[in-house]
Amino acid sequence: MAHSAVPTTAPAAVAPISLSALAPWAVFAGIVTLFLLYLVGAEQGATALFEGNTVHEWMHDGRHLLGFPCH
């Protein structure tokens, strides 16, 4: 008896993710992204949230990499 290399049963379908289940995660990711963009692009300027020069030094290379002027 010959055996087929192709399976005769279809794989189980993956249930789609609803937008209402995805929306809170998308909002969270957007907030985190905007905060990181703020840290890299604007922190230690006129709208500084943290005192000192520490955040500027940690984000310095990221500023240059993303094209933000810093000095």
Cα distances (angstroms) measured from residue 47 to each of 19, 39, 54: 35, 10, 15
Summarised one tens digit per residue, pLDDT across range 21-69 is 899 999 999 999 998 888 777 777 667 777 877 777 777 777 888 787 7
Query: What are the residues whose beta carbons fall under 8 Å from the beta carbon of 53, sequence distance 6 or more?
Result: 44
Instruction: Please tell me the pTM assigned to this model.
Output: 0.59
DSSP-based three-state secondary structure for 2: coil
Q: Which two tokens stand for residue 62?
A: 């990221």
The pLDDT score that the predictor gives to residue 52 is 78
Count other Cβ atoms within 10 Å, centred on residue 63: 19
